[in-house]
Structure 1
Amino acid sequence: MSDALRYGPAHLLPGEQIAITTNTATEPFWLAAKEHRLTACQCAQCGHFRMPPTPVCPECSSFEVQWPSLPGTGEIFSFAICNRNPANGEEFTYVPVVVDLDGAPGARLIANVTGCDAEDVHIGMKVTVEWTPINDGWVLPNFRKA
């Protein structure tokens, strides 16, 4: 890759720029994140995982859910390289990723990745969760190259 196209290190978006809202379907995910525990919504009836969480299972229509602890690892399914901070437009390299979560077949989580140069990120790359404090005492799961 030519020097003109190099992006440099992948950074995480600053936590003070991120705010979330919860509802009854998503709050268990965010409460687990506060404990630095990665989880995904799973149907307690048929076992189907779904992210983002929904109140009703799309496979069996059950309202019963459980939130098992996951190993905190995964594999990049998709990604984009961005070079501007969305909050203020300054030059800033970050890499939003879609991660296939280990231990939750079919569940994917959107996050950011760090711990490598942006141009080294690739589909199939193994990642591990890291926790980023954000506004209002919440914690955001992001990922680091494993």
Structure 2
Amino acid sequence: MRTRSWQTLAAAICLSGSALAVASNDGQTRVSDLLSSSPDYRQAWMGVVKKEERLPDWVINLSGASDPMSAVNEHGDKYLVGPLCETADNCLNNRLIVAVSFDKKSAYALWVQVPAGLPADKSPTRHADYRFLGKPDKDMQAVLMEQLKKDPKWY
């Protein structure tokens, strides 16, 4: 009887672990998964970062915490756009908004840095440094800024 309880408990743990794995892998594209999802995305992103100076590893490798990307239509061209944070804990201070074309030939980003320790009553928009990567045109810059403004903590 006691063996049966352990088997039941083990099965329950396995099932709950499987459910967590499915929940974290919801099938949606995230910035942190782009480079491993397609050699074409990797090539497009490497084309962006090789022309830039003094980028941290998390930007170069698109490693960090990210939410699902969304599809955006910009003058007839389709892009996947989404955020990437250096870590989930400091997203307000160090984030990247990335856009990659559906055809996987072009990529752009907006790197936003806000000084650590900024008082809560100070607007991050007024104290942020903005750096565009990949030489986006004015329309793409607007798309990247609009994505940033979707964050309810960004004011």
Which TM-score bucket, shorter chain as reference?
Answer: under 0.3
User: What TM-score, normalized to structure 1?
Assistant: 0.26
Structure with greater strand percent: 1
Q: Which protein shows a greater Rg?
A: 2
User: What TM-score, normalized to structure 2?
Assistant: 0.25
Structure with greater helix percent: 2
Higher relative contact order (CA 8 A, sep 6+): 1
